[in-house]
Structure 1
Amino acid sequence: MNIPTIVDRETWHAERNALLVREKAHTRAGNALAAARRRLPMVEVDASVRLVGAHGPTVLGEMFEGRDQLLVCRHMWHRGQGFEDQCRGCTATVWNFQDATYLEARGVTFAIWCEGPYDEFAPFREFMGYSAPWYSLDGIDSPGISDGWLTAYLRVGDRIFQTYDTDGRGCEAMMPALQLLDMTVYGRQEQWEDSPEGWPQDPTQSWFRRAGRPIPQWTRPGVTPVRGKDVQAVSIGPRP
């Protein structure tokens, strides 16, 4: 495993300051993109759609919880699979963002819309300790609702509008761990990154999982390895 070139502090400061110019330009470009997002038009969605949540079928307007804006993250679901076999990418995304306090202070409610049936994923939500409300997209086929991954909505009276959505790497906005890794010398250690020769890489992205589970699950009570396999205490629920 290679390491960066070793230099004196004066040389390091010169190199760092040169990079800082580019970082500030990147920040300003991000500000310009955010300004453009605020100027996007919006499109109306069907406000009568109901998603099943903790309190049963819930219309979109109720999901705003009295606020004017709603930000939704979509979560995949593998039917009939244990907790340990659910999407590693969705797990990483949602685990990295668990407190919407500051969004709520700006009038934005945050929620998870999951592809699976509510009764099937509700024990998973409880097991993971997620506090955000979860709703089921199961059986829903409605433009602007069933096709987004990170989607923003605005409520105007009884009408609801989609103002923005993104997918792919756009969802990294919810994953500060990746931005922090970008600040470290070895980065994310993924093959697509432009890194110097000899930098460590993990082509399988195995860091999302450890010993057969998404790594956050090992922080949950009752998760223990037995004979090299992952099991979950019976008190957590069936086949987690």
Structure 2
Amino acid sequence: MKPTATPPIVDRDEWERARAELLLREKAHTRAGDALAAARRRLPMLRMPPVTVVGRDGPLPLQEVFEGRRMLIVYHFMWHAGAPHEKQCPGCTHSQSAMNAAVRAYLAARDVSYAVFSSGPWDELAAYRDFMGWTAPWYSTADSTALPKIRNGGDLRCYLRDGDEVFQTYETKWRGIEAMLPTLQLLDLTVYGRQEKWEDSPPGWPNQDEPGSWWDRDGRPVAQWTRL
């Protein structure tokens, strides 16, 4: 559909002035993010009790999920037990689509492993991961009782391994996981943004959708159409 409105058209000098003004705000935003990251690194940590998860080779302790590295990032994938692939969480599917082998290799270069946990049965999780063509290690927490309380999914947690002990150092949810969604970061750079209702857009901009509603298309998560 052709947009009903566009930004005003100006000459190069006026555009450069407007861009320079925005750049000052962008730099301030970046510095504020750096300060938050510094505070995040200074959070205290929580000692984890013994935790067992189930992976490709059966049960294993949380320490082994680190794959020999000191740090671990875990995403908790929302799971609908017994549901077909097209009925699994579109938001979690969106978040995992960018976590390819290259991204994980860069994390590993800084001593960080990445894994996906889910409360679903292992055989269902493995079938979905394979259907999507993902290679990140997945683990079932269906029989794990010592993990920190989470919603059914959509949570991101960071851990540190010190010898035989594991500590939780950070957690986030909701918009906090947008670091895993480069699609959204890129859309934020475009003139019409994410085109969601919560955004502050000028009058006449394209119709705004409910947040995340466009992550499904024709009854299944968008990323699944690349697999069919």
Asked if these proteins are the same fold (TM beyond 0.5), I'd say: yes
How far apart, in 1, do the equivalents of 2:87 and 2:35 lie?
39
Q: Which moved more, 1:95-104 or 1:134-143?
A: 134-143
Q: Which runs of 4+ in 1 moved over 6 A?
A: none
Q: Do 1:79 and 1:116's aligned partners in 2 also have CA atoms closer than 8 Å?
A: yes
Of 149, 163, 168 in structure 2, the residue corresponding to residue 162 of structure 1 is 168
Over 3 Å counting, the alpha-carbon distance change for 1:54 and 1:98 in structure 2 is same
Over 3 Å counting, the alpha-carbon distance change for 1:135 and 1:146 in structure 2 is farther
Of 103, 112, 116 in structure 1, the residue corresponding to residue 107 of structure 2 is 103
Tell me the SS of whatever aligns to 1:51.
strand
Who is 1:116 aligned against?
A: 120
Q: Do 2:53 and 2:143's aligned partners in 1 also have CA atoms closer than 8 Å?
A: no
Tell whether 2:20 aligns with 1:17. yes
Tell me the SS of whatever aligns to 2:127.
helix
Who is 1:230 aligned against?
A: none
Q: Do 2:54 and 2:140's aligned partners in 1 also have CA atoms closer than 8 Å?
A: yes
Q: 1:214 offset after TM fit, Å?
A: 0.8
How far apart, in 2, do the equivalents of 1:146 and 1:55 lie?
25
Tell me the SS of whatever aligns to 2:93.
helix
Pairs within 5 Å for 1:30-179: 30-46=33-49, 48-99=50-101, 100-144=104-148, 149-179=155-185
Letter in 1 for 2:205: W
Who is 1:227 aligned against?
A: none
Tell me the SS of whatever aligns to 1:138.
coil
How far apart, in 2, do the equivalents of 1:205 and 1:103 lie?
27
Letter in 2 for 1:57: P
Who is 1:233 aligned against?
A: none
Tell me the SS of whatever aligns to 1:187.
coil
Number of residue pairs matched? 220
Q: Do 2:81 and 2:120's aligned partners in 1 also have CA atoms closer than 8 Å?
A: yes
Who is 2:10 aligned against?
A: 7
Structure of greater relative contact order (alpha carbons < 8 Å, 6+ residues apart): 2
Q: Do 2:66 and 2:113's aligned partners in 1 also have CA atoms closer than 8 Å?
A: yes
Q: Do 1:137 and 1:146's aligned partners in 2 also have CA atoms closer than 8 Å?
A: no
How far apart, in 2, do the equivalents of 1:36 and 1:176 lie?
23
Q: 1:139 offset after TM fit, Å?
A: 3.2
The two structures have a TM-score, normalised by structure 1, of 0.88
Q: 1:207 offset after TM fit, Å?
A: 2.1
Q: 1:198 offset after TM fit, Å?
A: 1.4
Deviations 1:29-86 (A, max 9, x none): 000000001111101011x211111110010011000001110011011111110010
How far apart, in 2, do the equivalents of 1:144 and 1:77 lie?
17
Letter in 2 for 1:64: F
Q: 1:143 offset after TM fit, Å?
A: 4.4
Who is 2:216 aligned against?
A: 209
Tell me the SS of whatever aligns to 2:16.
helix
Over 3 Å counting, the alpha-carbon distance change for 1:164 and 1:42 in structure 2 is same
Q: Do 1:98 and 1:131's aligned partners in 2 also have CA atoms closer than 8 Å?
A: yes
Q: 1:140 offset after TM fit, Å?
A: 2.4
> Which blocks of at least 5 consecutive residues in structure 2 are unaligned?
none
Of 179, 182, 189 in structure 2, the residue corresponding to residue 183 of structure 1 is 189
Q: 1:210 offset after TM fit, Å?
A: 1.5
How far apart, in 2, do the equivalents of 1:205 and 1:65 lie?
33
